[in-house]
Structure 1
């Protein structure tokens, strides 16, 4: 069965929060401390924060399958010419079914309709799912970006770009 790709609604906040929390923690497992993981998921992926961010348009689309949200993507304009993907996760039980591709295609369509000609995304260094996914869709590695976390750790992100 094919999922419905649609705009998120406030009722989706619990599912979006769960998918993002689990996805982000899986991405940084073994790379960042439990303390930083806890702080990050509490700040970004608590249901109240997700609900606020839905209202602000920070989540662009969800994938709904059999009445359940199974994926989410958020992105927007980063500059006059560029779009950025800010958040993108698919529930682990629904990976490798084309849902991620469908979400990315829908966001890319939005970016093109706004006259954007390139997309950017940051991928956690060591993310063995994200990097191959983006490379298979024409994203090219541009460089690394480091950021010091609130717990004093250095988080490394790989920057990718593609022309759309």
Structure 2
């Protein structure tokens, strides 16, 4: 399997939207209602929003196999020494094969080069895919955050942090 981690281009919009929409829904399928999932996915993963986020550097990398998007990561520097991972999804056919690890490494390298000392990620409580992935890469739980959607649904996200300044 030849995976290429590249900067996204406009032709990758549909693939990014698909991978993120499906991955996010799998993360919250037993936690948040279909109504909320549809509303949220329609906002974040519509083609215009994804294209805008590519243009603004929010999606710095995608994983391609034979030209097809099989993974995407979103993130940015959110403070002078802080980088955040906003989203990281891999098509389920290619999970557990190093794609997510490579996407995270590419984002981390960029954030460190831009002065990041620490990196944060928020994960839905009960996300049995995401939590072990981030813990295996040195992220440590900092706090639980109780949230309520605009449809009145309650859920909990977990904030994880790791020190990255000496990783490169």
What is the TM-score with the length of structure 1 in the denominator?
Answer: 0.97
The CA deviation at 1:32 is 0.6
Match of 1:53 in 2: 53
Q: Which runs of 5+ in 1 are unaligned?
A: none
Match of 2:127 in 1: 127
- CA root-mean-square deviation: 0.8
Distance, in Å, in 2 between the alignment partners of 1:93 and 1:3 is 13
Q: Any idea what the Cα deviations from partners look like across 1:61-104, whole Å, max 9, x if unmatched? A: 00111111100001111111110001110011100110000000
SS state of the match for residue 58, structure 1?
A: coil
Distance, in Å, in 2 between the alignment partners of 1:53 and 1:105 is 20
Work out the number of aligned pairs and report it: 164
Q: Is the 8 A contact 2:146 2:155 kept in 1?
A: yes
What is the TM-score with the length of structure 2 in the denominator?
Answer: 0.95
Distance, in Å, in 2 between the alignment partners of 1:155 and 1:12 is 31
Match of 2:73 in 1: 73
SS state of the match for residue 78, structure 1?
A: strand
Q: Which runs of 5+ in 2 are unaligned?
A: none
Distance, in Å, in 1 between the alignment partners of 2:115 and 2:90 is 27
Distance, in Å, in 2 between the alignment partners of 1:146 and 1:50 is 27
